[in-house]
Amino acid sequence: MYRPYTGRFPFTSPHSPLNAVVFLLLLFSGACRTKKTWPVKFSEEELRKRLTPMQYHITQQRGTESAFTGEFTHHNEEGTYTCVVCGAQLFSSNSKFDSGSGWPSFFELLKEESVTLSDDFSYGMHRVETTCSQCGGHLGHLFDDGPRPTGKRYCINSASLGFQPKDAASESTTGDEAASSSVSNEKTDL
C-alpha cells in the first residue's frame, strides 16, 4: 500500500488541520448560502404559510419556474416589481422588456444595491445568480445580452416577484386604476 506523496495535493498531509478546514469550507460553501445573514429574516413556517409552494420553492430553494408559465412574463402594467418575500422594490416596469425567453426580463435595477450577485455553477454552466439583498430570496439570473443602454438582462422568475401598480404608489393622472385590484400572487397552477 505504498502511495507516493508528491507534496502537491494539499489535503493529504495529516499535519495540516488548516487544510482540512479549507477543504470543508470549499465542500460546504454551496450549502452554506442559506446561513448567510440577510438584513430581513423570516421563519420557514411563516414563509410556507405566506407563499405559494411555487414561490417558496423558487425563492427559498433556488428553483426555476417553467418558461412562459409565470404571471408576469407578459405583464405590461405600469408600476414597480417587488421581492415577493420581503417586499423590497426591485424593478420598474419602465425597465421591463420582452426578451422572448419566457421569463420576465429587465435591463436595469431600481437600486444597484437591492440585488446581490453571486456565481452559480449549477447544471454544468456558469451563470450569475441574482438574490434579494434584503431577505436573500432567489430571484433569477443576470445575463449580458440585454438591450441598451445597460446591455444587461435580469432574467427573473415571476414567482419571485410581487407587483405594485403605479396608482398604489403615487397619484395617477391617467386614470388606469381599474387593473390594480386584479393583481394576485396566488397562482399555483402550472
Which residue in the list 83, 86, 135, 155 is annotated as catalytic? Answer: 155
Please tell me the distance from the alpha carbon of residue 44 to that of residue 34, in angstroms, as a whole number: 12
155 is catalytic: yes
Please tell me the distance from the alpha carbon of residue 79 to that of residue 41, in angstroms, as a whole number: 26
44 or 171, CB closer to Zn ion?
44
**Quick check: bond before 104 cis, omega within 30?**
no
CB 83 to Zn ion: min, Å: 3
Task: For residue 132, state whether it binds Zn ion (rule: CB under 5 A).
Answer: yes
Task: For residue 137, state whether it binds Zn ion (rule: CB under 5 A).
Answer: yes
Please tell me the distance from the alpha carbon of residue 168 to that of residue 8, in angstroms, as a whole number: 62
Is 88 in contact with 175 (CB distance < 8 Å)? no
Is 96 in contact with 83 (CB distance < 8 Å)? no
**Residue written as grid cell 402550472:** 190
Candidate list 51, 85, 115, 155; residue touching Zn ion; CB under 5 A = 85
Q: For the window 87-126, what string marks contact with Zn ion as x by the rule CB under 5 A?
A: -x--------------------------------------
83 or 142, CB closer to Zn ion?
83
Residue 4: other Cβ atoms inside 10 A: 5
Pairing of strands 161-165, 153-156: unpaired
Task: For residue 84, state whether it binds Zn ion (rule: CB under 5 A).
Answer: no
Candidate list 51, 86, 109, 161; residue touching Zn ion; CB under 5 A = 86
3-state secondary structure (DSSP) of residue 184: coil
Task: For residue 83, state whether it binds Zn ion (rule: CB under 5 A).
Answer: yes
CB 96 to Zn ion: min, Å: 18
CB 168 to Zn ion: min, Å: 19
Active site members? 155
- Which residues of the chain form contacts with Zn ion (CB under 5 A)? 83, 85-86, 88, 132, 134-135, 137
